[in-house]
Chain A
């Protein structure tokens, strides 16, 4: 189900299976890393390996949690810290080119616990350079996830450096359209 890589210790597929087992045993927060997405060059070759390593495993994790009844109260967030440019970096040949960092707009996906499945929210312009509609900031994302966890991000505070602080500072709006 997770693909044959699941038998290789440390592979992403193996980690996804491990994540399911941890979730099954009540672990509250699980973080999986997958490195090697920084293709400033040699993108066409490396991306294939990267995507084939995660594609099946991540789908399997969602399915596996779902059939065990764990997806109802588990949020899966797949995200990196920035996107990559739609235009090339370095020499552009058929078999070799790269893409630079592009933090202005990029996508993440969410599944499970209260998130509406099968929808796309927000849009970039035709060149994938700027956000065209429905921008979601990191604080919005956090506010939405806290909402799914049962917290009002405007009320949840912690005492830090002499005053009550919010996890979303003074920002963040719950993105209602992506909730079930």
Chain B
């Protein structure tokens, strides 16, 4: 019996179209009859419409008994209005003898049927299914410039709000997760931890869930809820690929300014294909540039520069610091071999990495002994002109270092002899 009932429930998607057609047709017929003073539609058709509406409502109610439905606004009102349609349609058939009452109830029945149909459509196709193409058309007509870089504020937050906020916001936190503000997204839920992997192109738990099959129980949004569109999924994936940046996106550097740099043989490139951050290197023209040239060239793109090399530019001195101070994103700066002085040292502390080798600013002493040894070029002096053991011609192939002095020998055997008693042979020298 329960299996038969289940079968009956599954008929709902088919049965529901019958009362829609019939009630609409009856409505139109009676409206025309009322205007013209004609008699109502034959009893047979009214009874049939009532029966169909009742079956549709009954099968719908039965279908809802099956597990897997998430209670929400659309489902609740679809069910209420559907049952109201069924009952009012039966009432129509019962009141058939009183034409005025029959027509009034029929009007009610058509109204509830339209309402039930609307929410039913919302359940299966999502909100704005019909008007979405028109909304898109309207949005296109507003002639927005195509956004090149995804922005959390502009592109991602609205999607999260529309598709995720029902279960992941202030009102409800399924799995302990909120997606309505950056700090909550970073805090994450109790299953996956942080929802995004900031600064990395992959390893984002949120994207894994979005991309799982709809049937998978870990898929988000859950089956039966409004799903993300392909465009929204792409947008989120693009944003995550960038490392989930929450700040406003960095606009691309002025192309003309970049071209002017390249015309001047300056190396300019973005640090990755997805980024608008720039790496600028004056290597090719280092000896020719000065503060003024660099300032003029870099001023238009100062916001985009994260890495700048002015290495070996001897004409660059403390006068470059006003420009450096105006680069908000500068992380790596090479001033190797420039004429920068200690006056700029404090200002340079703001930058994460600065290379100052070969400038007036002295770094701390080289820490390891090897560095000291190698840096002290020329300290190891060749001290002998003939082999200290045999007195014959020396060969650079057979060299040793003894007490910071280079000693050369005539053959591979002499060093061995030497090490046995160095003082003896050094004295003989």
Contacts and interface: CB of A to CB of B under 8 A. Distances in A.
A24 B312 contact: yes
Interface stretch (B6-14, B117-125, B367-375, B417-425): B367-375
B283 A24 contact: yes
Interface of A: 1, 24-26, 44-45, 48-49, 52, 56, 59-60, 63, 67-69, 72, 95, 150
Q: Which 10 A-B pairs have the closest CB atoms?
A: A69-B355, A25-B283, A1-B377, A49-B397, A26-B283, A67-B357, A68-B336, A68-B357, A48-B397, A63-B374
B341 interface: no
Main SS of chain B's interface residues?
Answer: mixed
22 contacts: A1-B374, A1-B377, A24-B311, A44-B412, A45-B397, A45-B412, A48-B398, A48-B412, A52-B397, A59-B370, A59-B374, A63-B371, A63-B374, A63-B375, A68-B311, A68-B334, A68-B336, A68-B355, A68-B358, A69-B332, A69-B353, A69-B355
Nearest to A69: B355
Contacts, number: 47
Contacts of A52: 396-397, 399
B267 interface: yes
Nearest to A150: B272
Contacts of B284: 25-26
B303 interface: no
A162 B364 CA distance: 56
Interface string B225-239: 000000000000000
A25 B267 CA distance: 10
Nearest to A44: B412
Contacts of B399: 52
A1 B334 CA distance: 22
Contacts of B397: 45, 48-49, 52
A72 B353 CA distance: 11
A63 B357 CA distance: 12
Given A48-B397, A49-B397, A68-B336, A60 B283 contact: no
B377 to A, nearest CB: 4
